[in-house]
């Protein structure tokens, strides 16, 4: 059975909680969950999975969360081959306080893993969000799932559910049809 790897980086614990919720909703027996700060040593860990859910909050001005910086830098140098890997991106962000760089980390993650050959899935509509600018919008949609616990925490659960509904048929295609439609 192809396991799914959930890797996340989180400074104040918001993306960590989101990752836990995704883990629960998708099925704990189907996914491993890896904290980039505590449990990550090298990119070979990512390559163990054909299906990846990568969580990264946005810091600085549209930058990736700290725990992802060095791994992304290393991968940029070493260029591991992610061909055949399917990746969906999510992460906490703040559309009001940081509306000029909303969820920029999703775009940086997307660019990097696309360059390494991965297929990025899990785009999400921009409707319901209000922000000045986001590099994470491509063809009118976010390249992943931004979650705003600062301003719209009441929407987080339903956004995760909506997003996972689009991912289940892709990520669990090889599993039992019951899971695919659950
Ligand atoms: C100093 C600072 C810089 C931030 N920069 C951004 C930003 O550029 N874009 C954005 O969307 N959110 C930004 N945020 C908001 C964080 O992404 C948000 O607080 C998020 O919930 C943190 O998630 P984490 O605990 O998983 O790291 C920033 C927050 C702080 C405190």
Average pLDDT per run of 10 along the chain, which is 182 residues long? 89 98 94 97 97 98 98 98 98 98 98 98 98 98 98 98 96 59 41
Q: Whose CA is nearest to atom 16 of ligand 1?
A: 93
Q: State the CATH number of the domain containing residue 88.
A: 3.40.50.360
pLDDT score, position 153: 98
Mutate to test the pocket of ligand 1, among 36, 98, 102, 137 (most ligand atoms within 8 A of CB): 98
Q: In this structure, which residue's CA is closest to atom 29 in ligand 1?
A: 59
Rg (CA), the chain: 15
E strand or H helix at 21, and its extent? Answer: helix 14-26
Q: Which range of residues forms the domain containing residue 72?
A: 4-181
Judge if the beta carbon of residue 49 lies within 6 A of ligand 1.
no
Q: What pLDDT was estimated at residue 34?
A: 98
Would you state the pLDDT for residue 175?
54
Is 52's C-beta closer than 6 angstroms to any atom of ligand 1?
Answer: no
User: Which pLDDT does position 174 carry in this prediction?
Assistant: 61
For residue 55, report the distance from its CA to the centre of ligand 1, in Å: 13
C-alpha 12 to ligand 1 mean position (Å): 9
Q: Which two tokens stand for residue 136?
A: 């994470």
- Count: domains in the chain: 1
Residue 166: is it exposed, middle or buried by C-beta count within 10 angstroms (0-12/13-18/19+)? Answer: middle
Q: Is the C-beta atom of 98 inside 6 A of ligand 1?
A: yes
Query: For residue 173, what pLDDT is reported?
Result: 77
């Amino acid at each position: 059975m192809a396991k799914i790897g959930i890797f996340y980086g989180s400074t104040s614990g918001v993306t960590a909680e989101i990752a836990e919720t995704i883990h629960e909703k998708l099925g704990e027996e189907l996914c491993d969950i890896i904290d980039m700060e505590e449990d990550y040593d090298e990119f070979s860990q990512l390559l163990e999975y054909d299906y990846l859910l990568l969580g990264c909050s946005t810091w600085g001005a549209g930058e990736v969360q700290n725990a992802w910086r060095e791994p992304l830098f290393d991968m940029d140098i070493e260029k591991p081959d992610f061909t055949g890997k399917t990746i969906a991106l999510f992460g906490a962000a703040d559309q009001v306080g940081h509306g000029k760089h909303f969820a920029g980390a999703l775009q940086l993650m997307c660019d990097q893993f696309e360059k390494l050959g991965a297929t990025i899935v899990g785009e999400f509509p921009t409707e319901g969000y209000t922000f000045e600018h986001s590099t994470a919008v491509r063809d009118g949609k976010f390249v992943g799932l931004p979650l705003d616990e600062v301003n719209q925490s009441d929407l987080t659960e339903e956004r995760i559910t909506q997003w996972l509904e689009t991912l289940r048929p892709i990520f669990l295609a090889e599993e039992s049809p019951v899971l695919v439609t659950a």
